[in-house]
Chains A and B, each alone.
Chain A
Amino acid sequence: MTSFAPTTSPVIQGNQIPRKRLYGIMAEFHDPATLMAAADKVRLAGFRWWDCHTPFPVHGLDQAMGIKRTILPVLVFGAGLTGTTIGFCLQAFTNAASFSIWALVWVTGYPFLISGKPLISLPAFIPVMFELTILFSALSAVGIMFLFNGLPRWNHPLLASKRFLRATDDRFFIVIESRDPRFFASRTEQFLKDLGAKAVELVEV
């Protein structure tokens, strides 16, 4: 059909959703040394929305990328203290208290008198307090780690790339996301190639 209408860029109409959007650019490296040198340069170039993907943790890459130390241990310490406190309160209440509290249901403590020992016998309470400290710390360490990492997430755009399958095998990747203010598709692509990337691929959402 001949049309006299001026050529326009495609316009989104109605419920039509754009199928593809650029997520970022992925550069593939074959060894950790090149990757680390490249990561250093990406950081110096001022990018912020970018990441390295490696089959194993590469030592020194955190510094090369300028990753700040995580506050995870502080939070885990807090969780550990919570565990200790809960351990003490649980035992002191159930074995020494003669009043009721509401813990989902009304529960009443029972003062156990065992061979004339004091009701709150701290030395005997220590093993359970210790175990609960460890339990709370360990579960929170893992839980907070996955939470901060945004995992589980099963549908990441990178996981759709065939090339990226080897990120868990023997290849090393740098991905610069399109939302980075310094991102310009063509220029960033050239930049990554100059860093020694063996292959560069556009990643779409």
Chain B
Amino acid sequence: MSSVPVNRQTALPGFQETDNTAENPAVRAPLVLNMDRFGQVTRQVCQVAESKKPPLAWYVAFTISLGLVGLLGFCVNYLIFTGVGVWGLNNPVMWAFDITNFVFWVGIGHAGTLISAILFLFRQKWRTGINRFAEAMTIFAVICAGLFPGIHVGRVWLAYWLFPIPNQMDMWPQFRSPLLWDVFAVGTYFTVSFVFWFVGMVPDLATLRDRATGRIQQFAYGLFALGWRGSNRHWHRYERAYLLLAALSTPLVLSVHSVVSFDFAVSQVPGWHTTIFPPYFVAGAIFSGFAMVVTLAVPARQLFGLKDLITLRHLDNMNKIILVTGCMVGYAYSMEFFIAWYSGAVYERFAFINRAFGQYWWAYWIMVSCNVITPQLFWFKRIRTSIPIMFALCLVVNIGMWFERFVIIVTSLANDFLPTSWDFFTPTWVDMGTMLGAFGLFGTLFLLFCRYLPMIAIAEVKATMPQANPHWSGYAEHDHGHAGGHSGGGAKPSFASPDALHSPGSGPDGGPIAP
């Protein structure tokens, strides 16, 4: 087997895939296809933000998303002006769709940080193709997540009680409560993820600034590029800071979903009070997050022509991670059952049997079939590398992970210690509208990001190309050529040949090389 990419023909034009998934330990598999010059990467990424009009599908998706944001606004305002009674909550089920959505969205975010931080520490170079938009996904997901605890408190105008703000009542938050840890964990997570994303984007914003032709673009990109000029003395500190951010984000991301799981695990409710929750939640978060990355990456690379940068190998790798984390989640489900039996606690045993065969049995089995059975298909390489199948499977995983949170929260609450207080939760249209609206908010932010910001980390992708290594074999001849002056240009044509297409801002003498 070799690592040489193979073109895979399909019946539909525009849907051909280059297969670079072959494993050959002797040859590093290419992560950037059909490009051997840095300028090509720049153009390929920047053309999305620089094009006059995005593809038609973008407008369609944006209109739908914006409509859902309108629905979200309506539902949230209706809730605030009327009261939490507009949701389907009842006496034992005080948490339902609100916290389900909160945990779901926080979990989605985790894949972004895993890609940007943990894969960075493990020197997984393939992360560069997907880290930028995965990080953007993290930020937008955490925005959606933050909405729900904010509105479920009932009296929204008192939400500032969550923070230790000096007030005339001499009243402080209770720091021994996991709910307050959550405020700090999610707050820190959002801030650090945002900073990580922005810092990574500064060099690419400078690229867009330097290529921009319109005054508005020059000003806007220039403002946020902070005057970045690629100085190596800057790069030196930048890389250090980036490494530190990755090293700090890694324990942070593990802590965030652990703290979210403490909201449940620290309580006494059967079905919640288990020690497996922190690792189980983190694995589930990464599982759902990667499924969401694939769900977003597949249409994005197709629509914006980024198949050479987000290659089949990237998708294949992500599907492998989905398989691994899917197995972890499956293990956690079975271990929960085992511990419920092994603990000998009758309430605990009841909670789990009730989960699988009680009034919410359908939710439980949707969860198991979507999260445990479906990802097993990714053992097959044909499935891991088939675009339509992986897209469908990842949608299924997204649904399954939403149901996982629903099952954990609602089944445990609906049938608690006292059978007289048992009840059944049914969502109202406001519950449904708010949930759909959050997807709309996420979609709107993501589509705006795709349209106006560099969707792929240009500088990082360039750094993973073999040409970025000064000791690349292609330069060997080159080096000798330069010793004598300016005779090197013609020696190595493939890399140093003049660009037919110069960047728009480079002027008439953008540095042609003597052939």
Contact = CB atoms under 8 A, between A and B. Distances in A.
A124 to B, nearest CB: 4
B489 A198 contact: yes
B503 A165 contact: yes
Interface string A156-188: 101100111111111101000000000000000
Interface in B181-233: 181, 184-185, 187-188, 191-192, 195-196, 199, 203, 206-207, 209-211, 222-223, 226-233
Contact of B255 (A37, A70, A127, A152): A127
Contact of B38 (A37, A105, A137, A170): A170
A152 B226 contact: yes
Interface in A86-127: 90-91, 94-95, 103-105, 107-110, 112, 114, 117, 121, 124-125, 127
Interface string A178-202: 0000000000000001111011000
Contact of A141 (B187, B241, B255, B463): B241
Interface in B476-515: 478-479, 482, 485-486, 488-489, 495-496, 499, 503, 505-507, 509-511, 513
B52 interface: no
Contacts of A52: 231-232
A56 B462 contact: yes
Contact of B181 (A35, A55, A127): A127
B230 A167 contact: yes
B505 A57 contact: no
A168 B513 CA distance: 19
Contacts of B495: 31
Nearest to B193: A138
B468 A56 contact: yes
A134 B210 contact: no
Nearest to A72: B240
Contacts of B185: 127, 131
B166 interface: yes
B227 A151 contact: yes
Contacts of B238: 57, 145, 149
> What bracket does the count of chain B residues touching chain A fall in?
35 or more
B262 to A, nearest CB: 8
Nearest to A65: B232
Nearest to A135: B188
The listed residue with most B CB atoms (<10 A of its CB), out of A104, A158, A159, A173, is A159
Contact of A131 (B188, B203, B468, B475): B188
Contacts of B203: 55-56, 168
B251 interface: yes
B460 A127 contact: no
Interface string B237-266: 111110011001101100100010010000
A146 B38 CA distance: 26
A34 interface: yes
A194 B235 CA distance: 26
Nearest to A107: B166
Interface stretch (B13-21, B170-178, B306-314): B170-178
Contacts of B468: 32, 56, 58-59
Contacts of B228: 151, 168
Interface residues of A, number: 86
Contact of B470 (A59, A109, A169): A59
Contacts of A56: 38, 203, 459-460, 462-463, 468
B171 A164 contact: no
B230 A31 contact: no
B411 interface: no
A205 interface: no
B475 A194 contact: no
A153 interface: yes
Contact of B511 (A28, A37, A60): A28
A4 interface: no
B166 A103 contact: yes
Interface in A55-71: 55-62, 65, 67, 70
A169 B172 contact: no
Given A56-B459, A124-B176, A141-B245, A131 B184 contact: yes
A72 B241 contact: yes
Contacts of A107: 166, 170
Contacts of B222: 154
B511 A199 contact: yes
Contacts of B234: 149, 151
A12 to B, nearest CB: 29
B508 to A, nearest CB: 9
A77 to B, nearest CB: 9
Contacts of A164: 229
Nearest to B255: A130
B459 A55 contact: yes
B55 interface: no
B354 interface: no
Given A94-B172, A110-B171, A62 B503 contact: no
A84 interface: no
Contacts of B478: 31, 33-34
Nearest to B497: A30
A28 B252 CA distance: 42
B176 A73 contact: no
A162 B248 contact: no
Nearest to A90: B164
Nearest to B42: A169
Nearest to A144: B241
A55 B207 contact: yes
Contacts of A121: 176
A28 B208 CA distance: 20
Contact of A95 (B172, B237, B252): B172
A66 to B, nearest CB: 11
Given A170-B37, A196-B482, A58 B237 contact: no
B467 interface: yes
B469 interface: yes
A166 B181 contact: no
Contact of A134 (B192, B230, B499, B511): B192
The listed residue with most A CB atoms (<10 A of its CB), out of B196, B238, B241, B259, is B241
6 contacts: A30-B511, A34-B479, A128-B184, A141-B241, A166-B503, A193-B485
Given A37-B482, A145-B240, 13 more contacts: A34-B478, A53-B230, A55-B42, A58-B232, A59-B469, A73-B244, A90-B164, A104-B166, A128-B180, A135-B192, A153-B226, A163-B510, A173-B230
Across chains A and B, which 6 residue pairs bring their CB atoms closest together, nearest first?
A33-B475, A152-B226, A196-B482, A170-B38, A145-B241, A94-B172
